[in-house]
Amino acid sequence: MSTSKLQRQVSDQLSVYFGGYIIRENIRPEWLRYSNGNRLELDFYLEDLDIAIEVQGSQHYIYTPHFHDSYKDFKRQQKRDIEKKTLCKAYGVTLIEIGGETEIIEMIRFVRQYIAKTYGNDRAAPPQDIDSKWDEKFHSISKTLRKANDKKDYHIFKRGNRHYQKALSLVEFYGMEIIDSIHRQTAQELFFEMRRFESRFNGWYGE
């Protein structure tokens, strides 16, 4: 997977899970200045949380002619990366580096844990109106569940479709334990899991 594709995936997941926060992409903060005075760039900056995310391809660790004009150019990049880490630490910004697709879920979990620790619970409300946004998503999927149940259509959560993605984001946001196994479930299993999940908040189906 190319770095650009990975960065797009990170961007998509940040929007899904943390869309209520201020997310800056490819930003050059005033405080992030290299020793020569030029500002360095962050791939993502969650401004409300002081969390920066860098998508680091192998060219950040291995000299790659395709990405570097020379070996000196590679060493300069490594120096910039080190200085970026130093500056983030100095300004109280947590820097997360992502080197592959499998690390995205770990990034999501880390940020959620950070929010829980900062706000005192695992559904802490950020400065913006995230509660109403997620309530709308929850009621939307509840409506979908009710219609599917009436029609006995237990396969609405086909892997990768919009209902599946919405279910996944809701489960992760509300901190449900099934996030660890959701990827291994069939569409029908996920349907009944989401009914149980929904019943805890809505009471339509009981316990």
- Find all residues with CB under 8 Å of 15, minimum gap 6, and list them: 23
Confidence of residue 151 (pLDDT cuts 50, 70, 90): confident
Confidence of residue 186 (pLDDT cuts 50, 70, 90): low
Evaluate whether 40 touches 84 at the Cβ level (below 8 Å).
Answer: yes
Tokens matching residue 36 = 């020569």
142 or 40: which carries more pLDDT confidence?
40
Confidence of residue 65 (pLDDT cuts 50, 70, 90): low
pLDDT of residue 141: 67
Give the predicted TM-score (pTM) of the model. Answer: 0.57
pLDDT of residue 176: 46
CB-CB neighbours of 136 under 10 Å: 10
Evaluate whether 40 touches 34 at the Cβ level (below 8 Å).
Answer: yes
- Can you tell me the distance from the alpha carbon of 34 to that of 19, in angstroms, rounded to the nearest whole number? 30
Identify the DSSP state of 33. B
Identify the DSSP state of 21. S
Q: Tens digits of per-residue pLDDT, 103-142?
A: 787 888 888 888 878 765 544 444 444 445 555 666 676 6
Q: Which helix (H) or strand (E) holds 105?
A: helix 104-119
CA-wise closest residue to 52 among 16, 86, 3: 86
Evaluate whether 52 touches 44 at the Cβ level (below 8 Å).
Answer: yes
- What domains are there in the chain, each with its CATH number? 3-119 (3.40.960), 130-202 (no CATH)
- Can you tell me the distance from the alpha carbon of 15 to that of 33, in angstroms, rounded to the nearest whole number? 27
**What residues are paired with 44 via a beta bridge?**
25, 53
CA-wise closest residue to 19 among 165, 130, 163, 141: 130
